[in-house]
Amino acid sequence: MCTSVSGNTVTLSANATATGAATLTFGARSVEAAISTIAVTAVNDAPVLANAGAGATFTENGAAQVVNASLSLTDLDDTNIESATVWVENFVAGDTLAVGTAGGLTVTFNSSTGVLTLNGSASKAVYETALR
């Protein structure tokens, strides 16, 4: 937690890895009672996909391939993910994407665009498995 003071304003900023609640303790240098209001603005941090750049080599008409077994998903402020979208780069008609284990997710593949969409509130582990 990092703070700055300017005049009568105290600014608190959480670092990128902060989680949970923060406590602010301050004192007044006056004998008069003071009431302070502290407004906390929640931020919805986007999920982060790691190791997404590595991919699989696929031979045309070959067996299905695991795209990326080391892919991982994190979200600092949510235990579930609601949706994900994956697409085939340099898509050619006839290319397909599929999910081996959907884990209760709704999976749709648009064969005209090469876009695979996963929908449904599920744990990060369910989404990781589906995206791998």
73: number of Cβ within 10 Å: 21
User: Lowest-pLDDT range, 25-39, 51-65, 84-98?
Assistant: 25-39
Q: What is the structure's pLDDT at 99?
A: 87
Radius of gyration of the chain (CA): 23
CA 16-20-24 angle, to 5 degrees, is: 90
- pLDDT confidence of 110, banded at 50, 70, 90? very high
Q: Which H or E element spans position 124?
A: helix 124-131
pTM of the model: 0.64
